Structure 1
Amino acid sequence: IRKRLLEYDDVMNKQRTVVYTKRRHALMGERIGMDIVNMIWDRCANAIENNDYEGCQMELLQTLAMETPFTEEEFRNEKKEKLAEKTFNIAMENFKRKTERLAQIANPVIKQVYENQGHMYENILIPITDGKRMYNISCNLKAAYESESKEVVKSFEKSILLHVIDEAWKENLRELDELKHSVQNASYEQKDPLLIYKLESVNLFDNMVNKINNQTISILMRGQIPVQEAPDEQAARRVEVRQAAPEQRQDMSKYRENKQDLSDPNQQAAASQDTREQQRREPIRAEKTVGRNDPCPCGSGKKYKNCHGKNL
């Protein structure tokens, strides 16, 4: 049993070695740029080789956020390698413009914080979104200032790659654990469960790598720093909102008409007189009552209950 379990674990260890190598490259910054370039090339080649024209359009739009740079006729007649190279060049140009724009937006903020408060902070958080989720990217303030925010782009690539690898690897471990339990029933069919486990684990690993590449490139190609609108644009938007909903305005003139002008001495006197009249009330008088055992008020000397109070 222990030997059998070790054979199952060997399959997971081989996958762990590959994943941790990729993760170490991202964590230490080794070859991270080359890994991203290879991912972009793989996405371009797979989109063209494994799909028809409509499927290629959809995959390029979902993963690389770009339109198909060739027509359907070119897709049918041209060589796949040539189309892949053309798509790859355009995708790299888009990615370069995206990273330059990212650094351009972040640089004024980095410069201002470093010059004014650089002695207080070592790292700075840069919010970057892909339209679906917000990522807070931690970056060294001094390195970002000295590199004119190019360090922000590198930190963004590093953080996204680590995040995607970790999430995909955890999900793959759960799937491998479920697979190990499910293949045990293969023994009833006179099949080796370990062999089936090895074959299915390869498919799971390929799907995981494909998912890592797709998600990483999709986020990097769409990542941008959210920018607030200029004051002129905000004012124009408020004007549009007011013009679009005039029924929400309230006419306050009717409230102003009923408001008294207390600067007039006559109205001040009338107001104070009304207040005094409301406060002036009649006192409550409580009459004295005669108890049953008290002497009768008539002077007979009898108790009240035996005299005038006898019939009460």
Structure 2
Amino acid sequence: LREGIGLRAFAQENPLVAYKKEASLMYADLMDAVRHDVATTIFRVSVVKEPPRRPVQAVRPGVPAAAGPARPQPAKPVGQKVGRNDPCPCGSGKKYKHCHGRPEMQGEPELAGVAAGTARPPKGARPNPGKKRR
């Protein structure tokens, strides 16, 4: 499309108008090809019927099939629960509520085990670097 447009300027024709005209003709040809392909595909399609499904039978006798799998039990925390006013298990010396017990710290995966006493944060890690203690 771009190659032939440059020669139109030599023929005293506006290249922008020629570009638009050729682009619209190419788009019309594309739409005709799509319509033709859709029509031929529709006429070649054959409908296949699936056999009816059988009802699910019970795996064990005496257990109804509708019972389905058991609900998953919620995960139980490992280790002791740390109180809000107890020292933080990370070893910072701060109260748990001011260190890793803060709501914004609870979603962080690297500090998730700190409350249970199973993990330690890296040395020198501050829980809130923007807040200065006096």
TM-score of the pair, normalised by structure 1: 0.15
Structure with the larger strand share: 1
**Larger of the two Rg values belongs to structure:** 1
Quick one: higher RCO (CA 8 Å, sep 6+), 1 or 2?
1
TM-score of the pair, normalised by structure 2: 0.33
Structure with the larger helix share: 1
